[in-house]
Amino acid sequence: MEMQEITVEEEKNKEDEGASEQMLEVTAKEEKKEESEGASEQMLEVKTEEKAEPDHYAKLQIATEDIYSEATFAGSPLKKTAAGNQTQGNVFLYRVACLSLSIICLLLLLVVVVLGMKLQTGSTAVCDGTEETTPENKQCSMEHCRRWFPNRQTKQVGCHQCPDGWIPLGRSCFYLSRFRLNWDEGQRNCTARGGSLAVISDPTLQTFLTEQGEMKYWIGLRRQGGTWNWVNNTVLQQSYWSDAQPKGDCGVLSSTEPAEKNWMKARCEVYTYFICQRQF
């Protein structure tokens, strides 16, 4: 019995030792596995770090970066860039544009001066040495002005020019008002302008004023004691009265009617437009 018990105990001890050895082998294998995994992780970290390192040479291969080149001229370094070259080109273009505009302005100024001198010369009549000139009066005649200035004959009256706003015809200038007054006020207004209400003495003037006007105008015609007289104290000889005549003592020219019959009688207190006349 004792031998059997010893044998059983020895077998148990052997089994325990075998189990211990197995445990040791498993532990050794796990440690080796952990060491191999750690080494793998270290290798991965090393490779990752190598990939993460910046490539210092790649910067020089980027085409969009400005590349500066230094050159030595007369002992001082010079730096030129693409932006600098573009700026110099723009400055050159600006200078060329400014020079061109200056030349154009000078040419236009010269043209204006020449035209002004020509216009001034054309509006001045010099009658010395002509057949129309007399020792007493060196003003040229109407015929002389028409020969020398054919393009300006509608604006010249006996070598005199009408004031602004006046219309020339023959040796007279006419002003057609743009505001209304009664007959007496119109006459005073014309007197202040150096003339009087218009005196129509011939059919040419009658037609001219009718064509120039657009309204009804006072003329220098008024009835006194049953007789129609002009403001220059001459008696009416040729008239152009219309058929329908209202009552009144002052004469009106209606430019909206035919020139043959466009005079109307009206009360002198009525307000309408008027025609002034100046003679030279």
DSSP 8-state assignment for residue 260:
T
Mean pLDDT of 96-119: 90
DSSP 8-state assignment for residue 94:
H
- pLDDT digit string (tens) for 11-49? 666 666 665 666 656 566 666 666 666 555 555 454 445
Lowest mean pLDDT among 52-61, 112-121, 221-230, 241-250: 52-61
Considering Cα of 38, then 40, then 41, then 47, what sign does the dihedral take? positive
Which of the two residues, 87 and 188, has the higher pLDDT score? 188
- pLDDT digit string (tens) for 170-184? 889 999 999 999 999
pLDDT of residue 136: 40
Domains of the chain: 107-161 (no CATH), 162-279 (3.10.100.10)
pTM of the prediction? 0.46
136: which 2 tokens?
Answer: 């007493």
Mean pLDDT of 162-171: 91
CA distance linking residue 55 with residue 248, whole number of Å: 112
